[in-house]
Amino acid sequence: MLWTIAALILSYLLGSIPTAYLFGKALKGIDIRKIGSGNVGATNALRALGRGPGAAVLFLDILKGLIAVSFLGDLFVGRDLLFQEYNLRIIMGLCSISGHIWTIFLNFKGGKGIATSFGVLLGLALRLPGLGVVILILIFTWLTVFVLTRIVSLSSIAAALVLPLCVAFFGKTVFLFAFSLLLSVFVIFRHKANISRILQGKEPRLYFKRPPK
């Protein structure tokens, strides 16, 4: 039981590292929570800090989830655990995502968990053959919606809705399906303000160059 608790705590702390906040402080001396959307994530970092730092934040936030379920998970293989190995990795991933969303280092207020969730899915794909197809579908969904709308939040919501459907279709474990359903609810809940702005036509669009007139 102690090994299981240690695995979950370490995963949460890893996810809690507020990458965007640290980049904002280090590069511009700003509190990114007071800039733009106030979100401690890659999209707000892109808008506040530029493309380079934004890309770095995105990469590191993905890496947090990947490390939690893959490399950190490897440390606990063969220990006396409460869960089967793969189920433990799923729960570790959920703890990592929770850490990003409710980071202990910023009074339990963090990002929306999209990048870290993607990292978790990548990590699980390294241990579960066939999950890679689900990830490809999610990437295709996200990119398609983004190209059509230029709205990051809408793209993330669309991918979240597709996730449990893909997991169910490809016949993965019940535990993984429950995780995918919970993750989908997490993402949609975290985007409730964005959904309201989308319905009002006020959600900002993301352009890497000057938007068209």
- pLDDT greater than 50 at residue 65: yes
If you average pLDDT over every residue of the chain, what do you get?
90
Q: Which of 50, 182, 55 lies closest to 117, judged by CA? A: 182
Instruction: Report the C-alpha gap between 89 and 81 in whole angstroms.
Output: 11
Q: Kindly compute the dihedral angle of the four CA atoms of residues 114, 120, 126, 127, in this order, to the nearest 10 degrees.
A: -140
Write down the pLDDT at residue 88. 87
- Which of helix, strand or coil describes residue 127? coil
pLDDT exceeds cutoff 90 at 73: no
Mean pLDDT of 30-55: 92
- Asked if residue 137 and residue 96 are part of one domain, the reply reads no
User: Does residue 148 lie within any of the structural domains?
Assistant: yes
Residues 95 and 49 in one domain: yes
Question: With a threshold of 0.75, does the pTM exceed it?
Answer: yes
Please count the other Cβ atoms lying within 10 Å of the Cβ belonging to residue 25.
13
Residue 96 near residue 12 (C-beta atoms within 8 A): yes
In this structure, the answer to whether residues 101 and 134 fall within a common structural domain is no
Q: Tell me the mean pLDDT in the region 46-54.
A: 92
Q: What is the mean pLDDT of residues 41-53?
A: 92
Whether residue 121 is contained in a domain is answered as no
Of 86, 111, 136, at which residue does a domain stop? 111
Q: What per-residue confidence (pLDDT) applies to 79?
A: 66
In a domain, 122, yes or no: no
Whether the per-residue pLDDT at 211 is higher than 50: the answer is no
Q: Does any domain span residue 117? A: no
Number of domains in the chain: 2
Are residues 106 and 73 part of one domain?
yes
Q: Are 7 and 90 in a shared domain?
A: yes
Q: Is 58 domain-assigned? A: yes
Give tens-digit pLDDT for 78-103: 665 556 778 889 999 999 999 999 99
For residues 101 and 186, state if they share a domain.
no
- For 202, the domain range is 128-213
